[in-house]
Every structure is written in structure tokens, then in C-alpha cells.
Structure 1
Amino acid sequence: MENTKDILNKLSLENNISLQEMPDIDLYMDQVIQLFDHTFKMTKRNDDEKVLTKTMINNYAKGKLFIPIKNKKYSKKHLILISLVYQLKGSLSINDIKSTLGVINDKLTNEDFELEKFYKSFLSIQQRNAVDFEHEFQQRVNDAHSEVAKMEESDRDNLEKILLILSLVNISNSYRKAAELLIDELKETKIKQPGTSNNKKA
């Protein structure tokens, strides 16, 4: 099986757009796409995969995944929100992303919310997650190898890969389902607090 270090390197687990890489001036859509392409190009599965497109951004805007833009330009706050959408879209539906980020969008609209501080917290957690994942991934590899070693089959290498795939997807599904339960809790909280989005700041 492919060297686990090579796989981890290809994943670029800590790759994200830092606040320092986000300009303080507002950007046009093409500039936003260039920024994301430059940052995440190494994480693409193949050359045909798109990191971010105009259609994606327009769909995010129509779905109200981020606060409205002004004069066709995207502020630093928009870049942060689009970055969060990018992280979520691999596992969640558009509706679930809207429910997740809706709390933040409401805070940005109705009060002085420190979005940059919140984003720093996410990046900090992401770095720790990357370290944890490396250890956990190696353990899953070892588990698959140990199980295949018990088999009297000729094609052990492929069987080991399949076991590892099943193991990784199983864990991924568990995390996704846990996230969905938390999203449902956010929805319930919003239902119990009607009218919060109308308390706009002056």
C-alpha cells in the first residue's frame, strides 16, 4: 500500500486561508476565485475538479450562506464565510450549511461580532485536528493491516486498502451524523427564539 506519509502529504490537512492572506480591501469575484484556487489547488483530486467557481459563489449567495455583498465586491468577512462554506460543503447539504452559518450571519447583521477572532479559533482547532488525524490514520492503517494478515488470500494489498476505505468512511459517517445532530439543535434553538433576526443594530 502507498506510504502513509505520502497520503498525508497529499491531504494538506493544515491548508487554509489565513487572515494574513486575506486582503483588507474588497475583492471582485474573479479575485476571490483566484485566492481560493491558489490556496487549495494542491488539495484537488484531479485537474478537472474546481475549488471555487462563479456558479458556486452565486449559489451560496442565493442560498444566503453569507451576508449580502455590496457593489459586487467581497469583504474580508465574506472571504472568511466563504472559507467556512468551503470546509463544510464536503460533508453537509446547502440547507445544513445555511443553518450552521446562519447564527454567525445573524450576529454579523444584528450585533458587533468578532468574526476574525472566531475564525482564528477555527484555524487553531484545525491545526490540532490535523495532528490528531495523523495519529488516528496510522492506527486505522495498522488495524487494516492486522486484519488482512489473518486472511489466507493472495490479493492482500487490495483487500487491505478496501478495509481501510471502509474504516475511514465509517468514521467519517459517524462524525457527519454527530455534526447533523448539532445542526438540528441549532435549528431548534432558532425556533425557540423567534424574531432575533429583527433586532438590527442602528
Structure 2
Amino acid sequence: MTIDTKDMLNSILQSISRIDYVKPEEIPNIELYMDQVTTFMENQLGSTRRYKEDKILTKTMINNYAKNNLLPPPVKKKYSKEHVLVMIFIYYFKNILSIKDIESLLKPLTDKYFGKNDGFNITSIYEEVCSLEKSRIDSLAKDISKLYCSSQETFQDAPAEDREALQLFSFICSLAFDVYVKKLLMEKLIDQLPDNSSRKKEK
């Protein structure tokens, strides 16, 4: 089977260039019931699914997030715009970090800034972080292109019929190493957060 890696890479880079975030103004200003929250998240983040049957968010997930202190409890079974923003953070973190690490990251923020109507709040934090991430898209695309080019230089001595597949494997390994190093760094930084540091000392 011939793998058209150049077409695949171009497709990935085009996808990266189209990455956007859910803007706070796109979230309804009214409080939402759980069904409305799951429908909103499906509509907004559905394009990030790998498979059609994948669920972005379910009632069970939401209940588990609240149970594990990742999400402040709803008020009279209704969720605010800030609840939705916290769920978006959780959605992206859960593919990389453990539930405990996500709690360590988010709980100090929700304890201090959740529900604040004036000044600095969860919405402010969300907008600042998303703005930083949007500014990195071009450099991220360049880094991936560079990794791809490097992978194409590997396995020059391999049998011709296997070279393309091995170079693809090399490209995937390079991407995996990048993710591994960043995940390791994230975990080390989370371990240094005040609550985690004090827990370590107690142990």
C-alpha cells in the first residue's frame, strides 16, 4: 500500500491552520440544563472527534467531573457559561493528563475565580490562554513540517519497498517523543503547584 505522506502532511497542516476555539460570546448567556450543555459541546467540538461515534461529552462525564472536583456543582441542575468554559478545559486536558492532575490544575482557579462577576474571572483566564494558543499556530505548523522533513531523511538504507512506511513510522515516533517530553514537563510543573508540594512533604 502506498502512503501519500505529503498529501497527509498538507491535510494536517491545513487542519492546524483552521484550529479555533469556542469563543465565550458563542456560549448562551442563560444557564443550561445538562442536555443543553452536551448538545452545545457536540455542536461546537464535534469536528475534533476521531470517529463519528465518539462522544464529546456525556451526562456521566459531567457528573464524574463534579464528583472529582474538576467542575463546580451546578445550581439547581443548571450550568453557567463558566461551567461550560471549565468543561472545555477538561475536554482538552483529559487526553493528556490524569483526572488528579486536572483537578490540581483547575481547582485553585475555580475556587478563586469561578462565579466572579466583576474584574478577573474564569472567562478572562480562558480568553487569555486561547489567545496565546492561537498565536502559536504558525510556529507549530513549521515545527511539524520540520519534523516531517527530518523523518524523510531516515531509513535511506532500508529496502526500497519498505522505506516509505518506515519513514512514516519515524515521523510518528518523532511526534510521540515531542508529546512525551511535553507531558513529562506538564506533570513536573503540576507536582510543583503549592497544594501538591505540601502533599509531597506530608508523605
TM-score, normalised via structure 1 length: 0.86
1:92 paired residue among 91, 97, 116: 97
Contact 2:28/2:81 (8 A) holds in 1: yes
1:60 paired residue among 53, 59, 65: 65
Aligned-CA RMSD value:
2.2
> How far apart are residue 15 of structure 1 and its match?
3.0
Mapped pair 1:138 → 2:154? no
> How far apart are residue 135 of structure 1 and its match?
0.7
Q: C-alpha offsets along residues 84-134 of structure 1, whole Å, 9 cap, x if unaligned?
A: 111111100000000000110120369774221111111111112322211
Contact 1:66/1:78 (8 A) holds in 2: yes
Contact 2:16/2:137 (8 A) holds in 1: no
TM-score, normalised via structure 2 length: 0.86
Q: C-alpha offsets along residues 6-51 of structure 1, whole Å, 9 cap, x if unaligned?
A: 1233457623211111111111111111111112211111112111
Q: Tell me the residue number matched to 1:128.
A: 135
Percentage of matched positions with identical amino acids = 31
Give the Cα–Cα distance (whole angstroms) in 2 for the partners of residues 159 and 36 of structure 1. Answer: 38
Give the Cα–Cα distance (whole angstroms) in 1 for the partners of residues 31 and 165 of structure 2. Answer: 49
Mapped pair 1:161 → 2:168? yes
Contact 1:33/1:53 (8 A) holds in 2: yes
Change (3 A) 1:159 1:18: same
1:106 paired residue among 101, 105, 111: 111
Aligned residue type for 2:36: Q
Number of positions where the alignment pairs a residue of Structure 1 with one of Structure 2: 192
Mapped pair 1:43 → 2:56? no
Contact 1:10/1:43 (8 A) holds in 2: no
Structure 2 residue ranges without an equivalent (≥5):
none
Give the Cα–Cα distance (whole angstroms) in 1 for the partners of residues 122 and 195 of structure 2. Answer: 23
Give the Cα–Cα distance (whole angstroms) in 2 for the partners of residues 180 and 159 of structure 1. Answer: 31
Give the Cα–Cα distance (whole angstroms) in 2 for the partners of residues 122 and 147 of structure 1. Answer: 36
Give the Cα–Cα distance (whole angstroms) in 2 for the partners of residues 122 and 15 of structure 1. Answer: 12
